Amino acid sequence: MKRTVQLILTGCFAALVLASCGNSTSLQSYFVDHQEADSFISQDIPISMLNIDTSGFSEEQKEAYNSVNRLNFLGFKSDTTNLASYQAEVNKVKSILSDDKYNDLIEFSDRGSRFVLKYIGDDDEADELVIFGSSKEFGFGIARVLGDDMNPQKLMTLAGVLKDANIDQEQVENVMNFFK
């Protein structure tokens, strides 16, 4: 009887270890694997480096802004010579983002570009917000917004304000020039 219990416990432990060592790629490992690859650009931007003027923000927007620590960006530039690579990489990212740990926030298309916003966490608190945009003409970009106690709904409000905010262009110039 004791041997049977030991075998069952050993089997359960082995199954647990094998299940946790799955070969699915995480978004973080995708970033690391591609940050130095051809056709890619990678940038890690602390939110404080953007020098955003928050004086016109509401308390809710300030709270959302202060919950963000940094942005990780990975971009792939496509052109007529690498469309097959572009599609293969887009499929890899879509596969990663189809994991159940990513909650859907919003998805939309605009003039041939597709955007997906997802987050890890629950409705009240997100650990990570992921913004994935793709276009055959330009390529794709993935932004990981990392912070503490981020509220997905408040971040959406903040996103609307940030599009018109005065952002220090020097901090994002490399990324913008990469897609030209």
The domains located in the chain, with CATH, are 25-178 (3.40.1000)
CA angle 141, 79, 170 (to 5 degrees): 45
Q: How many residues does the chain have?
A: 180
Question: Residue 132 pLDDT more than 90?
Answer: yes
Question: Residue 137 pLDDT more than 70?
Answer: yes
Question: Residue 156 pLDDT more than 60?
Answer: yes
pTM for this entry: 0.74
Residue type, 160: G
- Across the range 70-76, mean pLDDT stands at 92
Structure-block tokens of residue 132:
């994935």
Separation of alpha carbons 131 and 146, rounded Å: 11
CA angle 35, 38, 43 (to 5 degrees): 30
Task: Give CB contacts under 8 A, 24+ apart, made by 131-134.
Answer: 132/93, 132/97, 134/90
| Cβ atoms of residues 27 and 130 within 8 Å | yes
